Amino acid sequence: MKRSVQLGCVLAAFVAVVPLSGCGNGSGDQSNADSGAGGTAGTGGSGGTGGKGDDGPLCAHAEVGWPCGSGMVCDERQQCVEGCFIAGKLRPIGAKNPDNACESCVKRTEPGWAPAAVGSTCGAGRVCSSDNKCVEGCYIANTLYEVGATNPSNVCEVCSAQSETDWSANVGVSCGEGTVCNASGQCVSGCFVNGTVYEEGAKNPSNACEVCSGANTNGWTAVSTGSTCGSGMYCGDSNQCVTGCSIGAELFRLGDENPSNDCEVCSATNPTGWSAKAMGASCKQGGGNICNTKAQCVHQQRIACGAYHTCAVTSAGALKCWGANYYGEIGVGALDTQLKAKDVPGLSHDVVSISAGPHTCALTSAGAVKCWGINNVGQLGDNSLADKWIPTDVYGLSQDVVAISAGGMRDGEGQTCAIVAGGGLMCWGHNEYGQLGIYSTTNSQIPQSVPDLSHDVLGVAAGAYHTCAVQAGAAKCWGYNYWSILGDGSTTDKNAPIQVSGLVSDVSAIVAGYSHSCALESGGSIKCWGIGSSGQLGSGTMDSHVTPSSVLGLPPGSVAAMAVGGSHTCVITSSGGVMCWGSNQFGQLGDGSKTTRLSPIEVANLSSGVVALCAGGNHTCAIKDPDLALCWGHGEDGKLGDGTGQDRLIPTKVVDFP
């Protein structure tokens, strides 16, 4: 039998208003309901005909959405469920209004959509406002903020669409002078460039000459010109990283020489300072011609002619000597005369320069001086008067010496001088005529500073009884002056340096012999003075000159180096040849004769390739590149080194050299 439900009774049951007339409150069983029997009459009303008792289903025959309890509605299965019936549709608890994400179905007695809590998310970067609208923004600490709003407590945090419920880092925003916000929302010293925060001092990944600086938090700042930007690289004027060196306030290209020291260059190994040239590299400053191991330009004299012996340095820096050995001047530890080149023990390498008078001295690549031979007046400088048969250290000169010169007479008295770094001059040994230049005539067994030559000395030459030097382009001499070999126009001895007449500038080198001296000017011309009785002054006569006079027969600019002996003079020409003039009694001019020459004449078979030259009492020697040693002239005592002890009128090879 078909059931029927009185609408008024259903409404009274769920809406809980005043019960309507005729609504039963009886209790009928299910069988009665199935048979259509009426229930027991309710209080205050008549029993319903065929109605459902209190135990019957509440949604039986009810339409979908019919309320069946607080926050309950009937569904299509006629079951009472939690939900909302809105706009003709049954919505589950939690369902959002498709037209407003800030409204949803909640379990409550009121019908319709319920407003979401303020700050609830309602989309990416969106939250619900107090007026129930879905807006862009963030809800943080019970406060709604618009997108872009800054955290009142931290300028480096901002409301963004990326986080509706918390602050986002305000990356790259300036947060004070020289500071920016980083990805952690912290205010740091740095810059924000191309979307990235860099710490203060960080380099531009694309240009090492640009850095992050507080002066420009939104871009790169150029570093100082000359800053290093890589191994052997510096920042140039155009803010680009280039190869070279930044030294002081100047920029230099690779290979550029130090303007103050041509033994130093710009090198990739030291972009902020000078690098030493290789030992043996050529140089000109300081009066020298090669660089030593301390980047000092030192005077290289690879061959030296003493009164009766000769010494020479091989291209490998080894020293060999030959000839008379009366006082140990050969340096081999014995007094045996040597007719051929002999190795000097202890000096098998690193010898830069050699000089000889009656004794011998050598300069090492470390700037140390060693001397040996006769020491009767302290010329070895070791603070004694004892002869030495092997090389001996000079007192106080274990380093920083750039040039040496040993002089003296054949009878053994002699003096030695050295130029030290900085251009000061020191001398020691025989001083009877003031040849040490120390304002006295007292011998010295140790080096003494020459007071008037404490700087800018570019060259030094020790003669028999006098000494000469070049200071800042000016020629100066002192000591014995009987034949005016000091070039001042007088014959008065001087115990301190005096100016050579007319040679106040432009002098690049100077040499001193037994009775005459010569100076080489920077233009390559020579002037000589003193005794000229054998034509050694090259003036075309045998006249003596108390002041410098020009050598005739030498084309201007044709001289590269020079040497003076007892009574003859020789030069290396700019083409590497050798020319000599003066006394030729033993063939020391090398022209194949014994004829005295009053002007320069070419030495036989030496028209080129000569790199070193020396002149002794009556002999001459030279080195052709790289290691061919040749000697000619007086051969007594084996000083020509050809193994015979005979005179030679033309250059003859030294045996066992190198």
Whether residue 43 is predicted with pLDDT greater than 70 in this model: the reply is: no
pLDDT at 66: 85
For residues 574-581, average pLDDT: 96
pLDDT tens figures, 57-107: 688 888 888 888 877 889 888 888 888 888 888 888 888 888 888 888 887
Domains and CATH numbers, the chain: 7-114 (no CATH), 121-168 (no CATH), 171-222 (no CATH), 231-276 (no CATH), 285-653 (2.130.10.30)
Mean pLDDT, rounded, for 36-50: 34
Over residues 158-187, the pLDDT tens digits come to 888 777 788 888 888 888 888 888 888 888
Q: Distance between CA atoms of 356 and 360, rounded to whole angstroms?
A: 4
Q: pLDDT tens digit string along 601-631?
A: 999 999 999 999 999 999 999 999 899 999 9
Confidence band of 287 (pLDDT split at 50, 70, 90): low
Q: What is the pLDDT of residue 109?
A: 64
List 466's β-bridge partners, or say none: 479
Note the pLDDT of residue 170: 85
pLDDT of residue 56: 41
pTM tops 0.85: no
At 459-468, the pLDDT tens digits run 999 999 999 9
478 with 457: CB under 8 angstroms?
A: no
- For 394-530, where are the E strands, in sequence order? 401-406, 415-420, 424-429, 444-449, 457-462, 466-471, 474-479, 494-499, 507-512, 516-521, 526-530
pLDDT of res. 503: 97
Tell the burial category of 62 from Cβ atoms under 10 Å away from its Cβ (0-12, 13-18, 19+): buried
Residue 540's pLDDT band, with cuts at 50, 70 and 90, is very high
* pLDDT of res. 15: 34
pLDDT, tens digit (0-9, with 9 covering 90-100), for 481-505: 988 999 999 999 999 999 999 999 9
> Rounded to whole angstroms, what are the CA distances from 505 to 321, 409, 481, 518, 615?
36, 30, 22, 15, 26
Which pLDDT score, from 0 to 100, does residue 113 have? 85
pLDDT of 395: 98
Compute CA 233 distance to the chain's CA centroid, rounded to the nearest angstrom: 8
